[in-house]
Amino acid sequence: MKKRLKIDFVSDISCPWCIIGLSSLQQAIHSLGDQIEVDLHFQPFELNPAMPSEGQDLDEHLAEKYGLPPEQLERNREAIRARGEQVGFAFNMDKRSRIYNTFDAHRLLHWAGLEGKQLELERALFEAYFTEGENPGAHDLLVRMAGKVGLDQERAREILASNAYADEVRQRQAYYQQLGIHSVPSIIINERHLIQGGQPQEVFAQALQQIAASS
């Protein structure tokens, strides 16, 4: 009999290691298909909650935040691109030149969770930003991605034009911060076991097997 596992995936759309970790986790779940059944929920985290709506030049932002020289930034980009390729995700670094505010994306993802389309929208937004270089905070893009995954575009537009789900997103953010989550991706299994970072598939698979066996 399959063991059911609840997974809370704490992430931000502007985090490259989050889509790497998600892809790796999905591969691990697929490899254990006959052993586990997963209830996956995405939880909001903002790497840059004070980011203005127009965003900021990416290299400028990373230099300010981490104090890294251009050569190191380039090495980091190549490491991310290579890891993405390993898990089947395309990072087009030449298309992504800015970093943006993601709060409205999290509001829409909260709604998508209520509609059973959260995973699809999460992946669509990662692709829009990291593969196509689009602004994941722009309402037109968010409405388009909602429609792409089968959500009601008119309802998406209404949500974005209002403050719908803002309180819920802030409450979830505060909850995970109180738990000590200060970096992403953070993957919490059965509300007890924490795995952090864009780990390889084997690491996730081993952890899921062990947790399933002991639950």
Crossing angle (nearest 10°) for helices 201-214 and 16-31: 60
pLDDT tens for the chain, 215 residues long, are 889 999 999 999 999 999 999 999 999 999 998 899 999 999 999 999 999 989 999 999 998 988 988 899 999 999 999 999 999 999 998 999 999 999 999 999 999 999 999 999 999 999 999 999 999 999 999 999 999 999 999 999 999 999 999 999 999 999 999 999 999 999 999 999 999 999 999 999 999 999 999 98
> Is there a contact between 208 and 29 (Cβ–Cβ < 8 Å)?
yes
Q: From the CB of residue 203, how many other CB atoms can be counted at a distance below 10 Å? A: 15
Measured at the CA of 192, the angle between CA 186 and CA 195, to 5 degrees, comes to 30
Residues making up the chain, counted from first to last: 215
Crossing angle (nearest 10°) for helices 139-148 and 103-114: 20
The answer to whether the pTM exceeds 0.75 is yes
